[in-house]
Amino acid sequence: MSVSYRQPGVVLTDRRFTVPLDHAHPTGETIELFAREVVAGDKAHQDLPWLVYLQGGPGFGANRFVGKSAWLGRALKEFRVLLLDQRGTGHSTPANRQTLPLRGGPAEQADYLTHFRSDAIVRDCELIRREVTGGAPWTVLGQSFGGFCTVNYLSTAPEGLTAAVITGGLPSLDAHADDVYRAAYPRIERKVAAHYTRYPQDVERARRIADHLLAHDVVLPNGYRLTAEAFQSLGILLGGSEGSHRLHYLLEDAFVRIPGGTALSDAFQEEVQGLLSYAGHPLYALVHEAIYGQDTRPTAWAAERVRAEFPQFDAAKTLAGDGPLLFTGETIHPWMFDCDPALRPLRETAEILAARTDWTPLYDPARLAANEVPVAAAVYHDDMYVDTAHSLATARAIRGLRTWVTDEFEHDGVRAGGPRVLDRLLALTRDEA
């Protein structure tokens, strides 16, 4: 039963759908999807076209907006919007350390999680589209990993789309995970250098914190073991529009004087555990590298292996000299499954996924080359999370795709830019810009 209610300027309706776990076996086991329909209050009774939003991740539920914030206000001028909690996220059937043991042991859990990639998400969309729109095609807005899903949509079910808008999410069509991270580490290093240029006082602060962590066994209040490597992973903040500033304010409050010396402050530890814990989005850690799996090569902890090619990221080696500590970015490492209590029970499951060698292709280059769906993509110059060169190569491979390459925004431009980013991209799909 759908439930409708109001927020300032909008009417929201909570909707639930039942879909097959494995779309290749439509009469088999099912899971539940949750989505929130949003329409402008003054258009609630109008027959409007639909826009479905695919969140970034993987592993995050759709944004929980209040009213018409961020890009939503622009969308509501002409669309009914469906904010989909992709399978395993948000209010959809959850997949986490509490629920995955219902599947059985690690092997069964890993097999279950193979059904949580972009191909399954797109088939979910196609199934619920028929119920939501009565069969009419809709527009898709894909942010980050949602853009990966959108390229899969264009590859497998373009008949379901009126138009496609992608923000910071044009994936390589054929890069192995190794290639993705080999391109990523130099970008991350540039972002860190830019941060230290803005906040040179953070060089010494970061070194001091890392040095403390190498010398002490620090366990955060939630049980997270804060190592120097874990501290470095806070660099993931640097890919967002306000991330450098957030990191700076975090570092300046790190230490407090106590009897007998200094210690990491409670305030610092509280904020760090919120930033590092995967309790709310474990799928991000479990299937992050699997989103790049497309052949018989295992992903095999690609970010960890490739990091060894960049010794400048080694904290101990850095602190033995006088150089700045490098933070890391959107990378998943096996030690996370030891440090994070939300991931520890899933370590063996993650190992099985990392060793898997039967990933199916996610994109169809021939079909993309013959694309007829109007598509526009924002490509953020030197995006820390998605390689610009990979994105532009894919843009050239999708017939008719129009790009907006900009350094005005970081990876979260569709949020930070309010209505401007969506407005520009919709205009591009309509040849109005």
- The CA distances from residue 189 to 183, 196, 208, 307, in Å, are 11, 11, 19, 12
Residues in contact with 196: Cβ distance below 8 Å, sequence separation at least 6, in sequence order: 202, 203, 324
Active-site position among 176, 333, 390, 411: 411
Over the range 381-417, which residues count as b (16 or more CB within 10 Å of their CB) and which as e? Answer: eebbbbbbebbeebbebbeebbbbeeeebbbbbbbbb
* Amino acid in the structure at residue 136: A
Locate 364 and state its tokens. Answer: 């169809």
Is 144 considered catalytic here? yes
CA distances from 291 to 65, 146, 147, 175 (A): 27, 11, 12, 11
- The residue length of the chain stands at 433
**358 part of the active site:** yes
Please count the other Cβ atoms lying within 10 Å of the Cβ belonging to residue 45: 8
Q: Between β-strands 375-380 and 402-406, what pairing exists: parallel, antiparallel or unpaired? A: parallel
- 104, 106, 107, 111 alpha-carbon torsion, rounded to 10°: 80
In this structure, the strands spanning 138-143 and 161-167 are parallel
User: Across-strand partners of 53?
Assistant: 83, 141
- Through-space distance between the first and last CA atoms of the chain, rounded to whole angstroms: 42
Distance from CA of residue 84 to its chain's centroid?
A: 14
Q: Which of 33, 165, 44 is nearest to 91 (CA)?
A: 33
Half-sphere exposure of 17 (CA within 13 A, CB side): 24
* Catalytic residue from among 47, 217, 322, 358: 358
Catalytic: which of 144, 155, 233, 244?
Answer: 144
303: tokens are 């970010």
Q: 69 catalytic, yes or no?
A: no
By annotation, the residues acting in catalysis are: 144, 358, 411
